[in-house]
Structure formats: structure tokens, C-alpha cells
Amino acid sequence: MTKSFPTLLFLALALLTTLAVAAEPSEAEARHLFNALGCKACHRFDGQGGSLAPPLDQIGSRMTRAQIQAHLVAHREPRGNGFMPSYSTTSTEELELLSDFLYSHKN
């Protein structure tokens, strides 16, 4: 059975779209990580959360992506002072995902 050109074109475009979406981490994954790490226990974000630490609603307007990531990576080592938890069990990929997500929140 041969497929028509429009059918093959549609299937190729569907496959490429699926691969492109799968290759980019989704906002849903980042939000899940943000919530799983308990960030809202101390930080306000999207109108919800604590007030012990600075709000993260527009952090992308105040810090670069590199600054955000450096701040998160610095907390991979347990610290004796401060409230921020250790991210020693958080992978580099997860911290990059979280950095991208937070940086995207500029307004």
C-alpha cells in the first residue's frame, strides 16, 4: 500500500513536531520541579507562597539566567547558615531546567 504525498508530508511534519517538543523541557516539568523542591514554602511565585525569602515572580527581570543558575548551584553544598535547602540531590539538568524556567519570568 502506497501513501499519497500529502499523507507522507503530514506524517513527517507530525514526527518532527513531536521530536521538537520532546527535545525541549516543558514548562509543566519545570513547574513540577519547582513545587517538588518546595520553593513556595519561602518564596512567593504566581501570587502564592511564603514571605521568608524574596519573591520570584519577576526574577528574570532582576537576574540573568547565569546568575540564577549560579545561585542554585551554590546550594548544592549544605550550608550552616541561611534557609535555602541543599540541592545536592538535584541533577545539573534539573537545575538548568529550573534556571530557564525562573529566567523566563520577567513580567
CATH of the domain at 72: 1.10.760.10
pLDDT at residue 10, as a whole number: 59
Does residue 21 belong to any structural domain of this protein? Answer: no
State which residues of the chain have pLDDT below 70. Answer: 1-25, 78-82
Does residue 49 belong to any structural domain of this protein? Answer: yes
Domain housing 82: 26-103
Does residue 5 belong to any structural domain of this protein? Answer: no
| Total domains in the fold of the chain | 1
pLDDT at residue 61, as a whole number: 94
pLDDT at residue 22, as a whole number: 47
Does residue 4 belong to any structural domain of this protein? Answer: no
Model pTM score: 0.71
Does residue 91 belong to any structural domain of this protein? Answer: yes
Amino acid symbol at 17 = T
pLDDT at residue 17, as a whole number: 55
Does residue 86 belong to any structural domain of this protein? Answer: yes
